């Protein structure tokens, strides 16, 4: 059984004890890298920017995860890029797509709903929006249709991303797995734990507000705290499945693949 949220955060703080400065340095490097990527690219390359940013986030997650498991090596953020030539780029791409695809789906669906709402509200003539009282009423009606849909879609995207949040740790622990297997394992392991992880993330809101008051400087320490807590969450979920024989069952085309460790 997973420990309480306070215990998860406590274990994260214990693993960061004595390493807060290094963790903050990695966070600063990540911020500089992502800022540089944003500066050298423009809007037409937004997808590329997102993929590079997510890859950096992956490296950041694994660096803190490695530290949390007891390693004192904080150079994973850089070392992981050295492995791009030996096939790991596929996994990085997988992790990027796991975040990009839901966002693209969100944009497409919201756009389609907006166009449909305009059509049914007889507001296809956009020049009317600024000229008539009816257009204002129609716009309010359109927004009344759009916003509930947006909220629903955002909930769906968050749900999917919660199911995929263990991907970087699974890739690191099981480099032999294929892209589809990594996604399936993450989704399987998060079954029944998404809500608790969501609450864990919400529990940092207070710290986030305090960090804003420090002109964002506090996020250099808050981000590693959050990511290390998620790493601890992963280890506990992994242990829970280990108690069940470490079995992950996948069904595809009526074929089941069972992976289990032999009991010594």
Ordered by start, the domain boundaries in the chain are 5-110+159-259
Q: What is the per-residue pLDDT for 47?
A: 55
Greater model confidence, 32 or 94: 32
CB 194 within 8 A of CB 155: no
CB 2 within 8 A of CB 237: yes
Task: Report the run of H or E that residue 248 belongs to, with start and end.
Answer: strand 248-252
In eight-state DSSP terms, residue 264 is -
Which residues are bridge partners to 2 per DSSP?
A: none
pTM given for the model: 0.76
Q: What band does 246 get if pLDDT is binned at 50, 70 and 90?
A: very low
Q: What is the per-residue pLDDT for 257?
A: 41
Q: What is the per-residue pLDDT for 19?
A: 83
Q: pLDDT tens-digit profile of 21-34?
A: 888 988 898 888 77
Distance of alpha carbon 242 from alpha carbon 173, whole angstroms: 14
CA 258 from centroid of its chain's CA atoms:
27
């Amino acid at each position: 059984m997973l420990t309480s949220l306070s215990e998860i955060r406590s274990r994260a703080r214990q693993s960061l004890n004595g390493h807060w400065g290094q963790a903050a340095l990695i966070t600063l490097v990540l911020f500089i890298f992502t800022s540089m990527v944003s500066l050298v690219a423009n809007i037409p390359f937004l997808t590329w920017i997102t993929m590079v940013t997510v890859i950096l986030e992956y490296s950041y997650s694994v660096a803190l995860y490695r530290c949390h498991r007891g390693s004192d090596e904080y150079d994973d953020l850089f070392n992981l890029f050295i492995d791009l030539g030996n096939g790991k780029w596929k996994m990085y791409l997988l992790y990027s797509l796991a975040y990009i695809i839901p966002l693209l789906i969100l944009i497409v669906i919201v756009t389609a709903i907006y166009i449909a709402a305009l059509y049914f509200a007889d507001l296809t003539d956009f020049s009317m929006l600024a000229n008539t009282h009816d257009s204002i009423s129609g716009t309010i009606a359109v927004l009344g249709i759009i916003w509930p849909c947006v909220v629903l879609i955002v909930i769906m995207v968050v749900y999917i991303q919660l199911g995929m949040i263990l991907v970087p740790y699974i890739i690191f622990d099981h480099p032999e797995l294929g892209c589809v297997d990594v996604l399936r394992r993450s989704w399987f392991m998060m079954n029944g734990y998404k809500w608790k992880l969501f609450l864990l993330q919400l529990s940092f809101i207070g710290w986030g507000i305090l960090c804003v008051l420090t002109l964002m400087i506090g996020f250099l320490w808050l981000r590693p705290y959050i990511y290390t807590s998620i790493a601890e969450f992963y280890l506990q979920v992994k242990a829970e499945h280990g108690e069940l024989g470490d079995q992950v069952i996948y069904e595809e085309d009526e074929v089941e693949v069972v992976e289990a460790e032999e009991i010594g």
